[in-house]
Amino acid sequence: MDPASSIFRLATLVWVAIFTCDNAAGRSGTFVTASALSPIQLEKEALLNTGWWNSSLSPADYSSDHCKWTGITCNSAGSIIGLHLSKDNVNFNGRLSHLNFSCFPNLESLRIQAYYDGFTGSIPSEISALSKLQLLDLSSNRLRGTIPSQIGNLRNLVYLNVSDNVLTGPVPSTLGRLTNLNYMSLSRNLLGGLLPQEIGNLKNLIELDVGDNSLIGPIPLTLSRLTSLKKLSSNQNQLNGLLPQEIGNLKNLMLLDVGNNDIIGPIPSTLGLLSDLSYLDLSCNQFNSSIPNELTRLTQLFHLDLSSNKLSGKIPSQIAIQFPGLCGNILDLHSCHTTKPATLFVEIFLPLAIVFSVIVFACLLLIKRYEKPKLKTRVTNSIDVFSIWNYDGRIVFEHLIEATEDFDSKYCIGTGAYGSVYKAQLPNGRVFALKKLNSPETEELAFIRSFRNEAQVLSQVLHRNIVKLYGFCFNRKCMFLIYEYMERGSLFCILHNDDEAVELDWAKRVNIVKAMAHALAYLHHDCSPSIVHRDISSNNILLNSKLEAFVADFGTARLLHADSSNQTLLAGTYGYIAPELAYTMVVTEKCDVYSFGVVTLEVLMGKHPRDLLSSLSSSSDPQIMLIDVLDQRLPPPVDQQVIQDILLVSTISFACLQLNPKSRPTMQSVSQKLLITRKTPLMKHAAIQDISISELRK
């Protein structure tokens, strides 16, 4: 067929696709040819009409199976259930409305992210045609206009993200219909008006972010119904009125950020009921009265910012002792708005003078201390500097030394490349993990920079599946980090202990994989600049008393700016390092993706998958059954949901282990696949015994 004929045929198919899908959706059309193309062909032609392209394909390749195109996921019947549109596979010269939603009746996941170089125009109301949609991510584009009320018809939606656009108008009350939502972010737009009361209907919501908009009015009392909520951010708005006492009903809350608003009245004493709260920002508001003593009950709190309010009275003495650090100076009188010249001395120069005096006094104490021949066994009135980046915290240095009897080996719970980890229990009962750096290395400038880098990175990280850094001690005699303590230790140790490994049933193992994925997706895509861990291994996955997983050890973490690579010395753990690092030395997020794939197989197999990976790399492509590589210490899974989860996790792990980094998925896409419920079976086989590894690698 000559080129001219091919172009004419393609144009005809696109035209047919447009009108056929429109008629299927009930809109007016004049060209009804429903029999001309199958539903799957219509999906493909609708993509081409959108401007879909793939730099790895030639024009002739577009006649190939579109399920193999980058950014597309299909079900077993070949129908599209997942679309990821990015600057790598779509020509972004059009509007979002150019995508004919009615052509994708089985779509479960739609992600359009081009980081400020993507789709323009508004969010079409026709998006409500995607009745099976569970994940909708339109963040980081240039979308304008309002959020259509019809979006409330997407009743199966679990994940909604329209952040980082230029959306205006009110938050539609119809969002209250999305009762299956776990995550909703409307942040960094120009949304105005009141936050609708109907938001209180979202009983399954875990994270809600409406920050950095122009919302007005009081915080709805109905938010107190969201008892599953773990993160609530409404900062950088114009919210006013009181912070309701009912906020104490959110017993699972870990993060509360209402900073930079116009909220008035006292700080609710009911905040003391939020026992899991670790991040609290009430800064730059109009809070008055005194700081409630109930805040001393928040034993998990490590970020507290009460600055720039109208607080009075004394700071509860227990706060400075019980909390590892305070963000900001709660005595700060500096206003978030314009400062009048007449008050410059009181609001700026006087606090600076006080701070300077305190620093000088502290330095004199330290000098005097180091003149002593040795450290006292117990010195309760003298403290060493305990620092957290962006914090003004202090802790009793001697108590930490005493808790480990000057780092006696009997308190050592692990060793690593940078030093040893010790368990330390303070007099108030709190338990920490102290990571003491090897003394010979602490004198090297490069090592000190690495140490500072780890402290700086971790102090800015807040995620439920990442080990918390509470602070560090840094002086010429000793350097150590102070971490959240994990009772069950490393995943590596548990998998290598037969009794403990059996405790990790299949459901718990799937949850470990999900936790790793969510944590890495946060580091890669929610931190700015993005963070690459560089040493993901089973040794750096820690478990708490409930066998929940947390990513740990950022000793080799590097910050990467967008659209850049990082050439560095080879780092990581042998057996987990991405193969391209051996010859390119270029660190990217895809290196973590590969390591994640290795650990995921290790979780399923109960041991490092080196033998399996070696077999799969051979040209013979042996027929290995999945059931034969799963951990034989556990009985084979029988629950259909658990089997489905294992199949999904296995498929994802092999995708992450692609030799070509560009062929690996992003951790964001992995996280989202694990977040939404998969209703379509991955395999036609009813029994897991019939599924081979080669089928999972297709």
Query: Which residues make up each annotated binding site?
Result: 435
Cβ-based neighbours of 572, under 8 Å, separated by 6 or more: 534, 535, 537, 556, 581, 591, 595
Identify whether 639 is a catalytic site residue: no
Helix or strand (DSSP H, E) at 112: strand 109-112
Count, residues in the chain: 698
Helix or strand (DSSP H, E) at 303: strand 303-305
Amino acid at 666: T
The active-site residue, picked from 257, 384, 535, 592, is 535
CA-closest candidate to residue 613, choices 692, 534, 541, 693? 693
Cβ-based neighbours of 518, under 8 Å, separated by 6 or more: 463, 465, 671, 674, 675
Beta strands in 521-635 (DSSP E): 530-532, 541-543, 549-551, 558-560, 566-567, 586-587
CA-closest candidate to residue 148, choices 131, 129, 166, 171? 171
**What is the β-pairing status of strands 469-474 and 479-484?**
antiparallel
Known binding residues for ATP: 435
CA-closest candidate to residue 584, choices 648, 662, 520, 638? 662
**Within 10 Å of residue 328's Cβ, how many Cβ atoms?**
20
Question: What does the alpha-carbon distance between residue 106 and residue 13 come to, in Å, rounded to a whole number?
Answer: 21
**What is the β-pairing status of strands 192-194 and 469-474?**
unpaired
DSSP state of 635: P
**Within 10 Å of residue 628's Cβ, how many Cβ atoms?**
11
**DSSP-based three-state secondary structure for 340:** coil
Start-to-end Cα distance in the chain: 31
Q: Which residues pair with 471 in a beta bridge?
A: 482
Q: Which two tokens stand for residue 490?
A: 């490393």
The Cα-based distances of 507 to 481, 504, 600 in angstroms read 33, 8, 13
User: Would you name the residues annotated as active-site residues?
Assistant: 535
